[in-house]
Structure 1
Amino acid sequence: MGKVAVGTAVVCAAAACVAAALVVRHRTRSSGKWGRATAIAKELEEQCWTPISKLRQVADALDVEMHAGLASEGGCKLKMLITYVDNLPSGDEKGLFYALDLGGTNFRTLRVHLGGKEKGVVKIESEEVSIPPHLMTGSSQELFDFIASKLAKFVSSEPEELHPPPGRQRELGFTFSFPVKQTSIASGTLIKWTKGFNIEDAVGEDVVGGLTKSLEKIGLDMRVAALVNDTVGTVARARFSNQDVIAGVILGTGTNAAYVECAHAIPKWQGLLPKSGEMVINMEWGNFCSSHLPLTEYDQALDAESLNPGEQIFEKIVSGMYLGDIVRRVLLKMAEEVDFFGDTVPPKLRIPFVLRTPDMSAMHHDTSSDLKVVGNKLKDILEINNTSLKTRKIVVELCDIVATRGARLSAAGIFSILKKIGRDTVKDGKKQKSVVALDGGLFEHYAKFRSSLESTLKELLGDEADETVGIEHSNDGSGIGAALLAASNSQYLGVQES
């Protein structure tokens, strides 16, 4: 063999050795990457672990806070607000009632025709109106004048045969989804604005009084019969058709719960005991916090960077506003520490809330063999291309860990309510059933979240779960529920017309 041939062979052999070394190094790095990524996922799973023993501790801590909040105002993690709703729908309500649902940059007007036990909710008509931006920072009179004018226009479309008889006012349920200190069933003072509103002259004033002045100004003869929180409306919506309903829970962008409490069990209640002996309590449970909650470094970072650090901790690990961002934060750590998506960190992954919970849900429910939905979401939202099946599987695993924790903690919250009120009453020879009404996009549309919540509640309740406790979906408590509360608190009780 000539010198040239020998030299070429040596060069080729050396190149082959280098190539082999690079392959080994790549495999080692790749193996190390997956090992570290898996370790991060495993650590998250351990920190989010919610065995039944821990859930019972969470429920016990909630129970303690419930008692404290019912005993005194202020200083409690749970506000346990007295709603003045002591007369929930019986199912007998008949007639035409209106609702106004103000909770953001839009508001809804609703007309609800009730037909009692025989016909139930006969007909619902509604209209949505956008609030001009300048009215969100102007004066309260301008805002309420605008709302009153739109409400009057909606009322003008009322069918003639449903007009109230002479001398009878139309009645309205007013859902006002901002922090309010309720002072009666139909009055409450605004504590502060949220959601982009900043109308200074309304703070500390009665919001029903403001709306009523505007209604009177344009000659609309309508009375606000109930000032409503959407969670309380959820209880009312469900109670109209099922008298076993004892609580309502919102699991959507945010989370909250309300339940029917025995009036004697509210030490801070200073008024006369209601004839019904009951009072609906708005828990504001999103603000619950306890050392028993399974918090992670990602939750702590999210809280520290939020608009309200140290507040709404339960909401931040349970509700739809935050679940997707917790997953994003874990993926960001994987990208930064183990090159999970390649040598560079995808810029979009650094944007808070870029990964929404509906997107997380879509990835979690992906049943395709190649997890195509996951791949498309990573590409469309985070601009991460060409992900491997292995990568996609880890993403699904993270979604499952975060959603399962939220669902199981929600179940613990419901369990604490059932535990607090007891419900040992025997009716027709059977122990009275307790039904919890749920609403919100997280419960309605995130199937794996919902099934995990329901199965966890059965675990907590034991063998008698199906016989003594029920879960049902109660749609639109903020709208229909408000109209129903106007009906059950009508000044014409007993004389409603169908």
Structure 2
Amino acid sequence: MAPRIEAPEFRLTKTDVVKKVEDILAPLKLSEEVQKRIREVYDEEMRIGLARNPSRKSCLQMENTYLPELPNGTEEGEYLALDLGGTNFRVILLQLEKGRVVSDEVQHYFVPEPLRVGPGSELFDFLAACIYDFLETRSKLDHKLPLGFTFSFPMTQQDLNVGILVSWTKSFNCPGVVGEDAVKMLNEAIQRRGDLEVEVVAVLNDTTGTLVQGAFLDRKCAIGLIIGTGSNACYIERVDRVEKWEGTHGDIKEVVVDIEWGAFGDNGVLDFMKTEYDQMLDKNSLLVGSFTFEKLFSGKYLGELTRLVLVKLAEEGLMFGGKIPSQLLRPGSFPTRFVSLVEQDAVLKLARPVSSESCFHELGIEHGSDDLKILQQVCFAVTERAAILLAICLSATLMRVDREECTIAVDGSLYKYHPRLHHLLEHYIIKMTPGKKFSLLLAEDGSGKGAGLIAAIANRLRTRKHS
């Protein structure tokens, strides 16, 4: 049975305001017709993304990760993982026995700005030096260790251990790396040292790592999902559907496909459901016309979306006595953590919404009791739409995986800290895929432990190939 979903109680002092508020929030409510159309578009973009010679380009990358299997409980030995995605990165040593993690050691390193924008070879030399430091302090320099490399930048894969950088993001912009294989560059840096017995055997992003970590915890896992600052998903696909597979795939029956759904809609296929708030958010974003799906709900944007709705309500004279607080006119002033705090009050049904009050207090905004009630309605509206959008794509992916029972491994700050998102997701997936057995599993640190586990899988595949 689907969990019961209750919107916050909505009783205002001035009852005539209720309908006006609901009219302003109405564009955020997705009718069944709109939901059906989004699902049809998503299915079509997936199909085109996997096609060999499509008539047009899909907005879904549908990247072949070349990962043909997941943990099976036989993983043994020591494996390294390197997780690079920002100014701080991690080196991790994972020790496995009979498919169990018996120890994991982690060390963080900081990447100075000159290395983030300097020659690419110097960045990879630095990473190799950190691997040396990590192993030296643990007296493991003489250990022969396979390494899984989480490289959280846009890349195209040509094999499990080949990741071609498409573009740098965040604070990185090293010349000489775009268009090159990051695995090859790291392996060359390791070889230049001449004092490490380490080989990079697999490259991945955090979404693939989440799926692998989830499968390690639950063998029924076949979908990986990130709902954090951004969002993405991957899943196990039948090889015969991956028409664009380069070369032969031998006896491989399944492979993990990285959807890269943050860009869903970048080609305009979702324009029909975008509200004026979505359009305004995109117009004022750093990369206009990009990451369309993420901008509808992810942690980086959910608070900003809420702010734009609040400004609209104030402009219409429905909040703050008809005066727009100057604090709300500043982009980014209403962070997504505020949405979670307001939703927490609604879930607990507090007589006095303390957390909601604290948000306005932190912003220095004077407010009345009706303003708090409207704020709860806005936060529920953006949250519910987020859950429905995610559920549409997840339910379609569940049907594509076509397993009797499927676990979805989830990680990401929005999923972990939002008090209602998990239950809303469950509710709408059940509604959209009646009778389908599934569960949502929190699988943390896919970019760390997941990378080490993929190194173990890659090692197993290599051993099998040469036996």
User: Structure 1 length normalisation: TM-score?
Assistant: 0.84
Matching residue within 416, 421, 429 for 1:457: 429
Residue 390 of structure 2: aligned partner: 410
- Whether contact under 8 Å (2:21, 2:318) holds in the other structure is no
Alpha-carbon contact 1:285-1:314 (below 8 Å) kept: yes
Question: What is residue 301 of structure 1 aligned with on the other side?
Answer: 280
- 1:429 is matched with none
Q: Secondary structure at the match of 2:409?
A: strand
Kindly provide the amino acid, as one letter, of the partner of residue 357 in structure 2: G
What does 1:248-263 correspond to in 2, within 5 Å? 248-263=224-239
Matches within 5 A, 1:334-373: 334-338=313-317, 340-342=319-321, 344-366=323-345, 367=348, 368-373=350-355
Partner of 1:85: 67
**1:321 aligned onto 2:300:** yes
Once the two structures are superposed, what CA deviation does each residue of 1:33-79 show, in whole Å capped at 9, x if it has no partner? x845x455312432122345543332222111111100047711111
Amino acid at match of 2:365: I
> What's the CA shift for 1:310?
2.0
Offset from partner CA, 1:381-416 (integer Å, 9 cap, x none):
x2203x211111111110000011001111111111
Deviation at 1:104, TM superposition (A): 1.1
Task: State how far apart, in whole Å, the 1-side matches of 2:66 and 2:332 are.
Answer: 37
Change (3 A) 1:163 1:135: closer
Q: Is the 8 A contact 1:58 1:293 kept in 2?
A: no
1:108 aligns with 2:107: no
CA distance in 2, matches of 1:455, 1:70: 30
Percent same amino acid among aligned pairs?
34
2:409 corresponds to: 437
Residues 62 and 134 of structure 1: CA distance in aligned 2, closer, same or farther (over 3 Å): same
Name the structure 2 match of 1:266.
242
**Which of these residues, 452, 458, 461, is aligned with residue 483 of structure 1?**
452
How far is the alpha carbon of 1:441 from its aligned partner? 1.2
Q: Identify the residue that residue 158 of structure 1 maps to in structure 2.
A: 138
Structure showing greater radius of gyration is 1
The answer for the alignment partner of 2:153 in structure 1 is 178
Deviation at 1:371, TM superposition (A): 1.3
Equivalent-residue separation in structure 1 for 2:155 and 2:432 (angstroms): 34
CA contact (8 A) 1:412 1:457 kept: yes
Deviation at 1:154, TM superposition (A): 1.0
For the pair 1:470 / 2:439, whether they are aligned, the reply is: yes
Q: Secondary structure at 2:408's aligned position in 1? A: strand
Alignment partners' CA distance in 2, 1:136 and 1:358: 29
Map 1:369-384 onto structure 2 (within 5 A). Answer: 369-380=351-362, 382-384=363-365
Question: What is the CA–CA distance in structure 2 between the aligned matches of 1:214 and 1:61, rounded to whole Å?
Answer: 44
Query: Partner of 1:18 in structure 2?
Result: none
How many angstroms apart in 2 are the aligned matches of 1:126 and 1:274? 37
Partner Cα distance (1:302, 1:492) in 2:
46
Equivalent residue letter for 1:157: T
Q: 1:274 to 1:453 in 2, by over 3 A?
A: farther
Scaled by the length of structure 2, the TM-score of the pair is 0.89
Q: Which of 19, 27, 40 is the equivalent residue of 1:60?
A: 40
Distance 2:250 2:394 in 1: 25
Q: Secondary structure of 1:403's match?
A: helix
Match of 1:23 in 2: none
Task: Pick the aligned partner of 1:448 from 395, 416, 420.
Answer: 420
Q: Secondary structure at the match of 1:90?
A: coil
Q: Is the 8 A contact 2:206 2:446 kept in 1?
A: yes
Letter in 2 for 1:323: L
Q: Deviations over 1:461-497 (max 9, x none)?
A: 21x23xx2222111111111111000000168669xx
Structure 1 residue 400 corresponds to structure 2 residue 372: no
> In structure 1, how many angstroms separate the alpha carbons of the residues matched to 2:250 and 2:22?
53
216, 229, 233: which is aligned to 2:209?
233
Partner of 2:273, secondary structure, is coil
Partner of 1:212: 187
Report the AA paired with residue 211 of structure 2.
V
| Change in 2 beyond 3 A, CA 1:344/1:89 | same
Partner SS for 1:124: strand
Aligned to 1:15: none
Cα distance in 2, alignment partners of residues 276 and 115 from structure 1: 26
Separation in 1, partners of 2:137, 2:257: 36
Counterpart of 2:151 in structure 1: which amino acid? F
In 2, Cα distance between the equivalents of 1:480 and 1:312?
Answer: 27
- For 1:201, the equivalent position in structure 2 comes to 176
State how far apart, in whole Å, the 2-side matches of 1:154 and 1:275 are: 38
Give the whole-Å Cα distance in 1 for the aligned partners of 2:430 and 2:240: 30
1:82-115, Cα deviation, whole Å (9 max, x unpaired): 1111132212101111111111111111111111
Partners of 1:40 and 1:318 lie apart in 2 by 24
Q: Is the 8 A contact 1:54 1:292 kept in 2?
A: no
Q: Is the 8 A contact 1:48 1:401 kept in 2?
A: yes
Identify which range, 286-295 or 91-100, moves more after superposition.
286-295
Structure 2: which amino acid aligns with 1:253? T
Q: Is the 8 A contact 1:439 1:475 kept in 2?
A: yes
**Mind listing any 5+ residue stretches in structure 1 that lack a counterpart?**
1-29, 424-431
- For 2:170 and 2:80, how far apart are their aligned partners in 1? 24
Report how many residues are paired.
444
